[in-house]
Structures are given as C-alpha cells and as structure tokens.
C-alpha cells in the first residue's frame, strides 16, 4: 500500500508546509497555501536511470566541443529570439496573457516546421481537434506532417509520442496535463512540477524539441512553482497591449542564445505577421511640429528602434503636482524632472508632467533620458523640436550627458529612416565614423542638448 499524507503547498512559489499558513514563508504571498495529498508510488516510464552510464570526470580541455544544430522555423523574429533557431532536445516554456496569441504563434511555427518535412505533434488540452482545425484553416496551417491530439492524460500522451516519434512537440498548456500517479488536481503545483520533469526527460533522452505553454498570474509571472523556469532551457514571454496590434516575444532565459533579443509581430486576421522594420511601425502616426514630441533611438538587444516620446507639462491646481509615465520608469522620470529644475532652472514645481512612449512600447534603458528631458522642456516652453531630429543619451544627476552603448547602430537606423540630425553624447563619438548623410551634434550637458534641440 502506498503511504498517503497531507501537505500544504504555495501556488506561487511551491513552498511546502505540514500545516496551513495564512502567509507563505517563501514568497510572502497571502492565502496561497492549498492542501494537497501526497502519494508515494513507484512509477514506470521514461526515466534517466535506465540510460545512465558510469563516467569518470574529464578535464574540460579534453571534452570535444560540438556546435548545437538548430532548426530554422522560417520565422526570422522567432529565430532571432531563440538565438538562431530551435535546438533539438531543448525544452522551451512560453508564457503570456490569455488571448495574446500564444496558440496562434505555436501553430504557425508548427506549420512552418512541418512544411520542411519534420514531424510535429501538437497536443492541446484546452481546445478540441475541431477547434484546432478551425484555427489552422484561418491561419492556412494545413500540412500532412502536422499531427493534432486533444489529450491531458500523461500516459496517453506518452503513447502518442511513441507512435508518432515527432521531431517537434507542443503542449498547450502544461497546466491542463496531469499524471494519474500523482494524487493532485490538474494545474496544482505537484502536477505541474511532475509533468514538466517528465517532458524534460522525454526531450533530453529522445532529442525532441518540446514547447510548453504556461498560464500567467495576475502579476504577469508564469503560474506554478518557480522551479519550472529553472528546469527548462528557454523561457519566452509573449507580451502586448490588447489595444494595439503588435506583439513582443521576449526571452528572459536562454541557454542557447542571448536574453536581450526581442521579436516583434503584428496580429492580423490571418495570424501573426513579422515586423521587419519596427521603427516605421512606431513612427507611422507621429505628428510634426508639435511641442513635447521627440524621437529616441532605443536598443532592444542588438536591434535599434526609433520610438516617439510625448510629454505634456500643464499647470496644476493641486498642492502636489502629478507625475505620470506610460512605457517609462516612473522613478527615472522624477529624477530627470529634478535635474531640469536644479541644473537648468525650469520651474516645474507647479506643473503636472505626463510622459508617454507612443505605441504602447516599453523603454527601460538609460539612453532615453536625454529625449525625455528634451520632451519635457519642449512642452514646458511650448517650443517644438525639429521634426527630423533623433535624440539619445543618459543623464546624470549633475546634468551631464553620459555615453551609451551601440551608438553607431542607433545613428545608422536614424539615417536609414531619413532623419537629418542626431543629438547624442559627445563621448559616444569615439571609435567610429559617422555616416556622411546625417549631421551629428555631440553634447556634454543637458543644457547644450536643450539649446541645440530648441533653437
């Protein structure tokens, strides 16, 4: 007989406790401890013990170096985020808000791989095979090598994998899959952890590239224990605003590539379309000759993007002025306002200040500081900037403009889109030659940048 005992597990971080607690001692969340029944049973299935071999430790210089082969997905944006393509035997976790387009992205990816002759098994625990076929008809993702199964039982999924022997496996979603040997409800911490470990063993032993779809909590993190993100090889977040058509695919963990890359897609009626030039997308509706509007050159990984920044400074009728930002760090904005008051002499203590990154994009690098400062000063003085200026640079507390990385790529992107002038840190001009078709103004202080931009 198996031994049964009760325990309480936190749904946020997976911390276990023999008794119920109102506050989790691991992550500090309230009312997150749920009761689970733990059963110890010897299971038979795919395990590492059956293929383990005794090996002696080797010197690292005597270990052969092999380049991991990659499978290109015909989607350049996805290949960029993954580091060049899908690595066979890798385990990828994809998270995102409900309805953001996770299933659409993976079905299009499955179709692209199946069109190359690979066997793809798409297992959906949330939609029937008819619903998946309707989605495939809309996306045009009909291929003979793409197999679809509606199943949530781990044992039946194992049989399907043994029968099909796929090269690429999609589980949509991991919260719906359950192991009958684990006495917990589907979606519980124990089930998610055990099922993920099972798929990890399948991916590593059989060399099947596996993608798991994970639900997210209201805070935006992937639901389930934090252990999941440590077990998988790659964690991708599919982000986007419901009121905008574009979507961002961002890697927060990648054992086979960089975590700084971002893929940009546009949602349409026939699925997700890749955005080759995101700068044109974010600048398509930019007004010209309006105060408070500037264009900043920001970097997303190795890709430069030009984004419009809008600022509005208006007189307040309340004792405490409001400071609001959308797409920018609120604390960084308050710092720049303090620099404008102390170092430049702008009297903003009686002014409400609002800053927005147009298009709903989020900018979190310090290189946007100088553009924010110019936008605020332009709105305060009601003096429009030149419509074909690009501004970037980091602002220090003493009013100096500090150098930023990848200045050459930012300038080339501005020249490619037809901008005439770039205001940037003077210290970032060293080591490269600016293009001949654009004027470069190097500045050392915020005062110099304001005099050049608002002349």
Report pLDDT digits (tens) over 198-210. Answer: 999 999 999 999 9
Tell whether 257 and 403 lie within a shared domain.
Answer: no
Is the per-residue pLDDT at 52 higher than 70?
Answer: no
Per-residue pLDDT averaged across 302-330, rounded? 92
Which of 3-17, 97-111, 261-275, 282-296 has the lowest average pLDDT?
3-17
Mean pLDDT of the chain: 88
Count of beta carbons in the 10 Å neighbourhood of residue 19: 8
What is the band of 136 on the pLDDT scale with cuts at 50, 70, 90? Answer: very high
Tell whether 128 and 160 lie within a shared domain.
Answer: yes
Domain count, the chain: 3
Report pLDDT digits (tens) over 284-303. Answer: 888 888 999 999 999 987 88
Residues whose CB falls within 8 Å of the CB of residue 298, separated by 6 or more in sequence, listed in order: 304, 305, 306, 307, 363, 365, 367, 368, 392
**If you write DSSP's letter for every residue of 9-33 in order, what string do you get?**
EETTT--EESS--SB-TTT--BS-E
What is the band of 415 on the pLDDT scale with cuts at 50, 70, 90? Answer: very high
Query: What pLDDT, on a 0 to 100 scale, did the predictor assign at position 3?
Result: 58
Residue 424 maps to a domain: yes
In whole angstroms, what is the distance from residue 442 CA to residue 56 CA? 59
Query: Greater confidence, 248 or 224?
Result: 248
Tell whether 361 and 442 lie within a shared domain.
Answer: yes
246: domain CATH number? 3.40.50.300
Share of the chain above pLDDT 90, in %: 60
Predicted TM-score of the model (pTM):
0.77
Query: What pLDDT, on a 0 to 100 scale, did the predictor assign at position 189?
Result: 80
320: domain CATH number? 3.30.230.10
Per-residue pLDDT averaged across 190-219, rounded? 89
Tell whether 341 and 379 lie within a shared domain.
Answer: yes
| 101 marked as part of a ligand binding site | yes
User: How far apart, in Å, do the first and last CA atoms of the chain sit?
Assistant: 84
Tell whether 265 and 341 lie within a shared domain.
Answer: no
Q: What's 59's DSSP letter?
A: -
Tell whether 84 and 211 lie within a shared domain.
Answer: yes
Residue 48 maps to a domain: no
| 97 marked as part of a ligand binding site | yes
Q: In a 3-state reduction of DSSP, which class is residue 276?
A: coil
Report whether the peptide linkage leading into residue 368 is cis, meaning its omega lies within 30 degrees of zero: no
Tell whether 92 and 121 lie within a shared domain.
Answer: yes
Residues whose CB falls within 8 Å of the CB of residue 450, separated by 6 or more in sequence, listed in order: 344, 373, 374, 377
Residue 16 maps to a domain: yes
Query: What pLDDT, on a 0 to 100 scale, did the predictor assign at position 345?
Result: 94
Tell whether 290 and 227 lie within a shared domain.
Answer: no
In whole angstroms, what is the distance from residue 208 CA to residue 162 CA? 12
Residue 51 maps to a domain: no
Per-residue pLDDT averaged across 153-165, rounded? 94
Per-residue pLDDT averaged across 59-85, rounded? 86
What range defines the domain where residue 16 resides? 4-39
Report pLDDT digits (tens) over 12-32. Answer: 777 888 889 999 888 888 888
Judge contact between 398 and 405, C-beta under 8 A.
no
Q: Is 238 exposed, middle or buried (0-12, 13-18, 19+ CB in 10 A)?
A: buried
| 100 marked as part of a ligand binding site | yes
Per-residue pLDDT averaged across 75-80, rounded? 91
**If you write DSSP's letter for every residue of 382-451 in order, what string do you get?**
T-PPPTTEEE--EE-TTSBEE--S-HHHHHHHHHHTT--EEEEEGGGGTTS---TTSEEEEESBHHHHHH
Query: Greater confidence, 43 or 430?
Result: 430
What is the band of 448 on the pLDDT scale with cuts at 50, 70, 90? Answer: very high
Is the per-residue pLDDT at 443 higher than 90?
Answer: yes
Residue 49 maps to a domain: no
Q: Which of 38-47, 174-183, 321-330 has the highest mean pLDDT?
A: 321-330
Query: Greater confidence, 40 or 223?
Result: 223
Tell whether 223 and 289 lie within a shared domain.
Answer: no
Token pair for 443: 């500045």
Tell whether 322 and 392 lie within a shared domain.
Answer: yes
Tell whether 244 and 303 lie within a shared domain.
Answer: no
What is the Cα Rg of the chain in Å?
Answer: 26
Residues whose CB falls within 8 Å of the CB of residue 137, separated by 6 or more in sequence, listed in order: none
**If you write DSSP's letter for every residue of 83-133 in order, what string do you get?**
TSSBPTT-EEEEEE-TTSSHHHHHHHHHHHHHTTT--EEEEESSS-HHHHH
How distant, in Å, are the alpha carbons of 154, 219, 247 from that of 216? 22, 8, 16
Judge contact between 328 and 307, C-beta under 8 A.
no
| 96 marked as part of a ligand binding site | yes
| 257 marked as part of a ligand binding site | no
Q: Which of 227, 254, 276 is the last residue of a domain?
A: 276
Residues whose CB falls within 8 Å of the CB of residue 307, separated by 6 or more in sequence, listed in order: 279, 282, 283, 295, 296, 298, 357, 358, 359, 361, 363
What is the band of 43 on the pLDDT scale with cuts at 50, 70, 90? Answer: very low
In whole angstroms, what is the distance from residue 348 CA to residue 322 CA? 11
Helix or strand holding residue 266 (H, E):
strand 262-268
Tell whether 203 and 233 lie within a shared domain.
Answer: yes
**Which residues partner with 93 through β-bridges?**
212, 235
| 352 marked as part of a ligand binding site | no
Residue 61 maps to a domain: no
Residue 290 maps to a domain: yes
Residue reference for tokens 């105060």: 291
Among 234, 218, 249, 224, CA closest to 93: 234
What is the band of 409 on the pLDDT scale with cuts at 50, 70, 90? Answer: very high
Query: What pLDDT, on a 0 to 100 scale, did the predictor assign at position 219?
Result: 65
Is the per-residue pLDDT at 397 higher than 60?
Answer: yes
């Amino acid at each position: 007989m198996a031994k049964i005992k009760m325990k309480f597990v936190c749904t946020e971080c997976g911390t276990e406790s023999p008794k119920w607690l109102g506050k989790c001692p691991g992550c500090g969340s309230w009312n997150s401890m749920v009761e689970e029944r733990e059963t110890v049973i010897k299971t038979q299935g795919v395990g590492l013990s059956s293929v383990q071999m005794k090996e002696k430790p080797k010197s690292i210089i005597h270990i052969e170096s092999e380049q991991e082969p990659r499978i290109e997905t015909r989607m350049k944006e996805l290949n960029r985020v993954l580091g060049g393509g899908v690595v066979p035997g890798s385990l990828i976790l994809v998270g995102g808000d409900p309805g953001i387009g996770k299933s659409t992205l993976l079905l299009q990816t499955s179709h692209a791989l199946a069109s190359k002759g690979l066997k793809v098994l798409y297992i959906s625990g949330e939609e029937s095979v008819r619903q998946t076929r309707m989605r495939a008809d809309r996306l045009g993702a009909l291929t003979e090598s793409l197999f679809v199964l509606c199943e949530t039982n781990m044992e039946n999924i194992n049989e399907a994998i043994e029968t099909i022997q796929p090269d690429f496996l999609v589980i949509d979603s991991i919260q719906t899959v359950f192991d009958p040997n684990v006495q917990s409800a589907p979606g519980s911490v124990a089930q998610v952890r055990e099922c993920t470990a099972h798929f990890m063993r399948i991916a590593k032993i059989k060399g099947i590239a596996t993608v798991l779809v994970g639900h997210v909590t209201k805070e935006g993190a992937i639901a389930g224990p934090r252990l999941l993100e440590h077990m998988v090889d790659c964690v991708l977040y599919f982000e986007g605003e419901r009121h905008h058509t574009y979507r961002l695919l961002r890697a927060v963990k990648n054992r086979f590539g960089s975590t700084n890359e971002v893929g940009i897609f546009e949602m349409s009626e026939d699925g997700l379309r890749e955005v080759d030039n995101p700068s044109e997308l974010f600048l398509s509706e930019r007004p010209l000759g309006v105060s408070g509007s500037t264009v900043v050159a920001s970097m997303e990984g190795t890709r430069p993007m030009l984004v419009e920044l809008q600022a509005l400074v208006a007189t307040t009728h309340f004792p405490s002025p409001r400071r609001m930002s959308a797409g920018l760090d609120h604390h960084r904005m308050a710092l720049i306002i303090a620099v404008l008051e102390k170092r430049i002499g702008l009297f903003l203590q009686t002014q409400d200040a609002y800053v927005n990154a147009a298009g709903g994009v989020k900018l979190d690098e310090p290189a946007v500081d100088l553009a924010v400062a110019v936008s605020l000063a332009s709105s305060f003085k009601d003096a429009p900037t030149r419509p074909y200026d690009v501004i970037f640079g980091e602002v220090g507390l003493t009013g100096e403009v500090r150098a930023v990385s990848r200045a050459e790529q930012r300038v080339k992107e501005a020249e490619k889109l037809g901008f005439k002038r770039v205001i940037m840190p003077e210290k970032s001009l060293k080591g490269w030659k600016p293009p001949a078709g654009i004027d470069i103004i190097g500045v050392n202080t915020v005062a110099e940048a304001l005099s050049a931009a608002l002349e």
